[in-house]
Structure 1
Amino acid sequence: MRVVIGGLIGFYGIVLITMGLVVDTAADRAKTGDVNANLWAGLGMVVVAAAFAVSVRLNPVIVEAPAEPAEKTDATGSA
């Protein structure tokens, strides 16, 4: 699940970085107090996605094999 969440956050972060670099207007900066909000939000999202990727690498989820089921017996106790 961490891979999916990290991948989506990373993808949206890259989109925001691209928008911050390509479609940055003076009107947009005036709304945010002369800060390129798309660029900074995108950079933050890419950092979070990288943290998810590091988390997956350092602490992978290990699924153990199921135990063998016990032999079934009927009501009389014989197999």
Structure 2
Amino acid sequence: MNDQEHREHPGQSKTAGAFDIRTIIGGLLGFYGVVLVIVGLFFTSDEQLAKGDGFHVNLWTGIGLLVTSAIFIAWARWRPILVEEE
């Protein structure tokens, strides 16, 4: 690398990757979303449906969490946080 290239790129940078808070939040929301979708599909009783006026609360909340998780992870991929190396 010559002096001109060194001046144009003073510090090398890399992405935060797995340590980006958006990735961590997206992973946790995704995990809870999967759990709620499974509970909503396979372990919902008629009594629980009656409490929610026939609305599958766990299922729809799980789907919402999965969508939110996908948004967080996509955001972290499209706009990564750059950390400068010394």
Q: Which runs of 5+ in 1 are unaligned?
A: 67-79
Name the residue aligned to 1:47: 67
Q: Among residues 54, 57, 61, which one is paired with 1:34 in the alignment?
A: 54
Larger radius of gyration: 1
- What letter matches 1:60 in structure 2? P
Shift of 1:9: 0.4
Does residue 20 of the first structure (1) align with residue 44 of the second (2)?
no
Shift of 1:24: 1.2
Q: Which runs of 5+ in 2 are unaligned?
A: 1-20
Query: C-alpha offsets along residues 4-44 of structure 1, whole Å, 9 cap, x if unaligned?
Result: 11100000000000000111111001101110100000000
Shift of 1:53: 0.9
**What TM-score, normalized to structure 2?**
0.74
Runs of 4+ in 1 over 4 A off after TM superposition: none
Q: Distance in 1 between matches of 2:44 and 2:31?
A: 19
Over the aligned positions, Cα root-mean-square deviation in angstroms equals: 0.8
Name the residue aligned to 2:84: 64
| Aligned residue pairs, count | 66
Query: C-alpha offsets along residues 53-79 of structure 1, whole Å, 9 cap, x if unaligned?
Result: 11011100001134xxxxxxxxxxxxx
